[in-house]
């Protein structure tokens, strides 16, 4: 559980988190290692049957059976919990998508209605349509800029509101406090995909969110060599998240947990460099005649920029820009000609990537208007590029 009265700076917490003596020291020996090592396990051997039977009663952070983790994964989960003031605990998942789907399953039941932000990562939308809908859980998509207007969409059946801020591909920054205040007053649970900002740049639970989800594959691992997801919950929702993850048999490999924990230690410095590199490129692009618009939350041209200024402690390294005209072939030629940007999925690693993106394929409640509200529909499908910056200067 994170400590609300803990006044250490987030970067200090990062350096100190998840290093409990019982995970880093040998009994009866002075001193200890800095990082909890990789504990690999399936079978745990008990001293006798009495210990085996006793172990069943509380398996959280106890050696019980490999699927319930070892100190390697507990340490990472503990560190992520420590980064979110007000959190009770964190469960780890083999991918960000696994974390999102399990968090939704933890709070929804047949007959419920989910309000889903229109700019959600597209596999999140697919989960709603292909898994939740057949289970009798309806999803209503809402405009990411709706703010307090969300109240008008709430019905008797609304059980949960899912946020992602900024949104995938189109980067709208949501008014999280306005939405969570209404949700709390009506007893509706809120979940956020906080992958872009991480708890370092946006403290989700402090802004009223109940459940914060990360694709740790991105900035937490940080080196493009492991997949992972996490769900961090308030005391009210912690049991539901934990038991649902256990029911689905979700777990992570200790080697991957160790890699993620190692990445986490340098998150603060890496994110700041991402911020610096991305802003330099975004500002340069904004001044180019070939570019119609840059969707970077720290620039006024991004929808919800003023909310980013109000609520966020920084900007990470992922943004989109829209070409001033041109077609599919021109966009591909531009990307193919980049010397220092790779072409591939994911982000948050130390290298740079550029991708063609077409948000209109994943929007139903809003219209993707690539060239801005004043521009005709003809330009609304203008080519967009997703830029993922490196931590190089
Ligand atoms: C915003 C966001 N959330 C979640 C995910 C899913 O994460 P993973 O690839 O670890 O399943 C991604 C992946 O790109 C993402 O961009």
Mutate to test the pocket of ligand 1, among 144, 165, 195, 222 (most ligand atoms within 8 A of CB): 195
Q: What are the tens digits of pLDDT across the range 186-219?
A: 999 999 999 999 999 999 999 999 999 999 999 9
Q: Which two tokens stand for residue 317?
A: 């390294």
Give the distance (Å) from ligand 1 centre to CA of residue 355: 15
d(CA 212, ligand 1 centre) in Å: 14
Which element (helix H / strand E) includes 141? Answer: strand 138-142
What DSSP designation does 119 have?
T
Are 373 and 303 spatial neighbours (Cβ–Cβ below 8 Å)?
Answer: no
pLDDT given for residue 187 in this prediction: 98
d(CA 320, CA 259): 29
pLDDT given for residue 383 in this prediction: 56
DSSP string, 199-255: HHH--TGGGT-SEEEEETTTTTT-SSS---EEEEE-HHHHHHHHHHHHHTT----HH
Per-residue confidence (pLDDT) for residue 328, from 0 to 100: 84
Predicted pLDDT at 377: 22
Grouping H, G, I as helix, E, B as strand and the rest as coil, residue 104 is: helix
First CA to last CA distance, the chain: 37
Query: For ligand 1, what atom is nearest to the CA of residue 216?
Result: 10
Per-residue pLDDT, 387: 65
> Per residue in 139-157, pLDDT tens?
999 999 999 999 999 999 9
Task: Provide the pLDDT for residue 42.
Answer: 97
Give me ligand 1 centre to Cα 215, in Å.
5
CA of 372 to the centre of ligand 1 (A): 26
pLDDT of residue 57: 87
Ligand 1 atom closest to Cα of 97? 11
pLDDT value at position 296?
A: 95
Pocket of ligand 1 (CB under 6 A): 95-97, 121, 168, 193, 195, 215, 217, 227, 229, 346
pLDDT in tens, the chain (393 residues): 666 667 888 888 898 899 999 999 998 899 999 999 999 999 999 999 999 999 998 888 999 999 999 999 999 999 999 999 999 999 999 999 999 999 999 999 999 999 999 999 999 999 999 999 999 999 999 999 999 999 999 999 999 999 999 999 999 999 999 999 999 999 999 999 999 999 999 999 999 999 999 999 999 999 999 999 999 999 999 999 999 999 999 999 999 999 999 999 999 999 999 999 999 999 999 999 989 999 999 999 999 999 999 999 999 999 999 888 888 888 889 889 988 888 888 899 988 989 888 888 899 999 887 653 221 222 223 456 666 655 543
C-alpha span between 76 and 260 (Å, rounded) = 7
Which residue's CA is the closest to the ligand 1 atom numbered 15?
Answer: 121
Q: What's the pLDDT score for residue 340?
A: 87
Relative to beta strand 189-193, strand 158-164 is parallel
375: CA distance to ligand 1 center in Å?
Answer: 31
Give the residue numbers annotated as catalytic, written as ranges: 67, 121, 193, 218
Q: Report strand pairing: 353-357 vs 384-388.
A: antiparallel
Task: Give the C-alpha separation, 326 to 393, whole Å.
Answer: 30
**Residue nearest atom 8 of ligand 1, based on CA coordinates:** 96
Determine the number of helices (DSSP H) and then strands (DSSP E) in the chain: 13, 11
pLDDT of residue 43: 97
Encoding tokens for residue 233?
A: 């919950």
């Amino acid at each position: 559980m994170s400590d609300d009265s803990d006044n250490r700076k987030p970067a200090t917490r990062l350096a100190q988190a998840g290093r409990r003596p019982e995970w880093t020291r040998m009994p009866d020996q002075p001193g200890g290692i800095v990082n909890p090592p990789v504990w690999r396990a399936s079978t745990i051997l008990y001293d006798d049957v009495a210990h085996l039977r006793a172990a069943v009663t509380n398996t959280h952070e106890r050696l019980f059976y490999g699927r319930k983790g070892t100190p390697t994964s507990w340490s990472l989960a503990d560190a992520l919990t420590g980064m979110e003031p007000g959190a009770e605990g964190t469960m780890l998942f083999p991918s960000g998508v696994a974390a999102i789907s399990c968090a939704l399953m933890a709070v929804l039941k047949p007959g419920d209605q989910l309000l889903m932000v229109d700019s959600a990562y597209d596999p999140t939308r697919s989960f709603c349509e292909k898994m939740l809908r057949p289970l009798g859980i309806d999803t209503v998509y809402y405009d990411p800029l709706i703010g307090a207007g969300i109240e008008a969409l709430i019905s008797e059946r609304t059980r949960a509101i899912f946020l992602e801020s900024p949104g995938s591909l189109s980067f709208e920054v949501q008014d999280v406090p306005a939405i969570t205040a209404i949700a709390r007053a009506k007893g509706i649970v809120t979940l956020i995909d906080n992958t872009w900002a991480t708890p370092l740049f946006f403290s989700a639970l402090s802004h009223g969110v109940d459940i914060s989800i990360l694709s740790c594959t991105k900035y937490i691992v940080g080196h493009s060599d492991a997949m992972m997801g996490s769900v961090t919950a308030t005391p009210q929702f912690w049991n539901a998240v934990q038991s649902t993850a256990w029911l689905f048999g979700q777990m992570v490999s200790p080697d991957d947990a160790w890699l993620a924990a190692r990445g986490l230690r340098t998150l603060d410095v890496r994110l700041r460099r991402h911020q610096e590199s991305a802003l330099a490129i975004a500002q340069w692009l904004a001044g180019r005649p070939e570019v119609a618009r840059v969707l970077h939350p720290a620039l006024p041209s991004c929808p919800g920029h003023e909310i980013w200024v109000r609520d966020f402690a920084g900007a990470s390294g992922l943004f989109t820009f829209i070409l001033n005209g041109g077609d599919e072939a021109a966009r591909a030629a531009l990307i193919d000609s980049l010397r220092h940007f790779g072409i591939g999925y994911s982000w948050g690693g130390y290298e740079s990537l550029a991708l063609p993106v077409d948000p209109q394929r994943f929007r139903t409640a809003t219209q993707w208007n690539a060239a801005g509200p004043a521009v005709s529909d003809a330009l609304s499908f203008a080519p967009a590029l997703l830029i993922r910056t490196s931590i190089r200067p």
